[in-house]
Structure formats: structure tokens, C-alpha cells
Amino acid sequence: MGANVKILNDTYNLGKIVSSVTITNAGTGYTSVPTVAFAAPIDGTAATGTAVLDGATVDSITIDYEGEGYVSAPTVTISGGGGSSAAGTAVLSGTNAPNGSTNALVSFYNGGVGMTVDASTLRGMYDGTGGFRKFTISGIEWSVDSPVNISFTGTGTTDAINVSGTGSFNYTIPNGATQPGDATDPDIVVTPVSGIDGFVFLKLTKEDFA
């Protein structure tokens, strides 16, 4: 008996980059150039930068590499150089709307437990400050020996579709649900009946980026 969810493809394109750093505290006592470190995005590459001193304080930070894949502004850490207290805030930019998709295979072997496509593990999904806040279903393939319900989390209109037997389609099922809380968990839930065998293959599009 059992069931599992396997992510076959997960994309996140055109994430934001670090364009600059606003110095919020110049610090004091620096005798050499301190090290600058940017927190890495969940999926992507961390930015890099170099501090510029004005006497014993940090005047600015030059962006050496803008990074990629940022959903929210990373923490900037300024350390070393013999001084203390310098701080800055990263500024993000991105001219194109991010987009992404996920393909998930849900398999059942004499199962009966609902399975969740967990948004928190996927690229670019909402992390409390930025990211995609919804999935829409852009296609489904299935072969099951008992009915299966597919739904969105949240409140309001959560039911997406019920499937049984064998079939497929490639049209969009919009997500009209109001996501829970701060939308950090906009999952897809696949609920079977007891003793089911088969699979459901979901093509998901990431939507509602903020």
C-alpha cells in the first residue's frame, strides 16, 4: 500500500537581480575594505559586491555580479575590515514578469491517502515576502481504477476536477481559491478513495507573482 508525489520538472524563469545596495549605516573604524556577502536565493545564484570606503566608513557597495533568481531582497552582510556596524539593504530589479511551471506525477499503489504537491518545495513560490501565490492546472493525464478529486488549498472555490478511468486534457483550470494566510502554502491536493491503483500526472502553471 502506498502513494507518492514525484516532481518531474520545476522551472522558474526571469527572477529578479540585485541592482544596487542602499547604505543604511556607514559604520565606523574601518582600516581595510570589509567583505560583503549577499544571501543566496532559494533557487539561483547569489550576488557579489565590493565595499567602497570613505575614510573609516563604508560609502557604497559596488555590485560585481547581480545574481539571479531572487524573489525577495537578500540580506546583506558586511564583515571584517577592522570596523563595525556598517549595514545596507539590497535593491532588486527585473523588467520581465517571472514565469514558471511544475509537472508532478502522483502514483497510488492500493492507496487511499490524499497526496499534496507541496508548493513550499518548488522554485519561486511565495516565501512570505515574494513569489508565485497560486497554481493553475494547465493539463492532466490520468489512469486510475477509482475516482480521484483534485483541489486547490484555501477557501472559496477549491475544487478543480474529479477524474476516473483513463483520460487526458490540455486546457486550463483556473485557481479561484483564496489562499491561506499569507499564501505561503498554495498547494494542490489529490484525494483518492481507499484501495486505489494508478496515477495522475499534473501540468501546473505558476501564477499571481508578487
What's the confidence (pLDDT) of residue 96? 59
62 & 118 share domain: no
Comparison of pLDDT for 126 and 79, the residue scoring more? 79
> pLDDT, tens digit, for every residue of 128-155?
777 888 899 999 999 999 999 999 988 8
Comparison of pLDDT for 96 and 100, the residue scoring more? 100
Comparison of pLDDT for 90 and 208, the residue scoring more? 90
| β-pair partners for 205 | 101, 136
Residue 13 pLDDT > 80, yes or no? Answer: no
Q: Which residues contact 206 (CB under 8 A, 6 or more apart)?
A: 12, 99, 100, 101, 102, 122, 124, 125, 132, 134, 135
Residue 18 pLDDT > 90, yes or no? Answer: yes
63 & 107 share domain: no
- Domain range spanning residue 49? 17-93
What's the confidence (pLDDT) of residue 144? 95
Domain ends where: 62, 78, 93? 93
75 & 152 share domain: no
102 & 9 share domain: yes
108 & 204 share domain: yes
Q: Average pLDDT of 200-209? A: 92
CATH for 132: 2.60.120
Confidence of residue 48 (pLDDT cuts 50, 70, 90): very high
Contact yes or no for 52/68 (Cβ under 8 A): no
Confidence of residue 50 (pLDDT cuts 50, 70, 90): very high
Q: How many domains does the chain have?
A: 2
Q: Average pLDDT of 85-108? A: 89
> pLDDT, tens digit, for every residue of 155-200?
888 899 999 999 999 989 998 887 655 555 678 999 998 889 999 9
Computed over every residue of the chain, the mean pLDDT equals 89
Query: How many angstroms separate the CA atoms of 13 and 99, rounded?
Result: 5
65 & 78 share domain: yes
Query: How many angstroms separate the CA atoms of 58 and 81, rounded?
Result: 10
